[in-house]
Structure 1
């Protein structure tokens, strides 16, 4: 299965001049009442940034996928966000685990208030593991764009430094949890939050690093 993901990614890099995009990425729809649909302009903007600056060939709009759906295996990169509660059923947790250990990648962006819920639910997916802070030396911070001090800070909430946490399976980072950074807010249209262009650029560059890592790391 991992070979299939690698093949999709290589096609996306190699066929950038083709008429039709070759790769899709998805947003994870989940139960529990949290707003999985928040930051509506974020992924289209990140996709556009990756296509322009990393010469990728991703469809311009994200798909929506449930954790229990077999279609999740079509996507080398799945993004998840929200402010509140998350609940994975046993079937969803089992399928998400299979997806991740088969070569998939999940980016979880805390939109403020997600942390305690996603930590609890990911224990259903990987009961043998907990999130650990990803060191600044990790390749996810050193793709095309260098973030020697870790995640950029987009919005302030509790005066905490941004942190990147990861779940690892057999040494591979399979889930990256961006906390107190608000990357997704930084990917939104400038008119949504009015952030300075420098902040938006940093957020998009870090997002591009995450996508690049997900597509090429194995």
Structure 2
């Protein structure tokens, strides 16, 4: 059954991928639903600024569902616990190796949980820091200093980590940046417009990279 599911997943991935994005719902009790205005605002920005044609009605998909293969880009965020069961991990692995892209944005506090669960998805790989000269920082907009700092959190330098498959970045984990807060409606966090613009531009880079690679 698992072999059949994997083959079916690959078939769906190759034939159904569209230019759309979705929010990834995960188990464990973490608030996967946080930042409700973030992704819709990023989608509108990308459609206006980099010529994408993404549906503004954002769907939610579960980690273990074949529905994830409809989307070239999944966005995952939250503050707390994350849990992938074996089926979730296998499904996500098949999705990523067959052309999908997952952006995990730490909304503060999810790092220790998600890094542990990613070992189920790729048992033999570690998250590695992405260098500033990587394409994802230079697709639509230039970020010569790497990931921008949007919210203070613990005051640490923002870092972008990734997992690569055959030299393709398939998973991006943004830490101590909180891009999603910068994508939200201005009145949610009262971020200055310049800060929100940085967050949206970096988000546009992620979208463009995911769609083109």
Shorter chain as normaliser: what TM range? over 0.9
SS at match of 2:82: coil
CA contact (8 A) 2:30 2:79 kept: yes
> 2: CA distance between counterparts of 1:192 and 1:58?
24
Runs of 4+ in structure 1 over 6 Å off? none
| Structure 2: stretches of 5+ with no match in the other structure | 1-9
Q: 2:44 aligns with which of 42, 48, 53?
A: 48
1:104 maps to 100
1:197 maps to 193
> 1: CA distance between counterparts of 2:203 and 2:44?
11
1:167 maps to 163
2:54 maps to 58
> 2: CA distance between counterparts of 1:54 and 1:186?
18
How far the C-alpha of 1:62 sits from its partner, in A, is 1.3
After superposition, the C-alpha distances for 1:141-180 in whole angstroms (9 at most, x for unaligned) are 0011000101111110111000000011111110000000
CA contact (8 A) 1:2 1:102 kept: no
Number of residues paired by the alignment? 204
| Structure 1: stretches of 5+ with no match in the other structure | 10-22
Return the TM-score normalized by structure 2. 0.92
How far the C-alpha of 1:137 sits from its partner, in A, is 0.5
> 1: CA distance between counterparts of 2:188 and 2:83?
28
1:69 maps to 65
CA contact (8 A) 2:40 2:57 kept: yes
After superposition, the C-alpha distances for 1:103-149 in whole angstroms (9 at most, x for unaligned) are 00000000000101110000000001010000000000001100010
CA contact (8 A) 1:5 1:104 kept: no
> 2: CA distance between counterparts of 1:106 and 1:201?
22
Matches for 1:1-218 after TM superposition, within 5 Å: 1=10, 8=17, 23-217=19-213
Return the TM-score normalized by structure 1. 0.90
How far the C-alpha of 1:60 sits from its partner, in A, is 0.5
CA contact (8 A) 1:43 1:61 kept: no
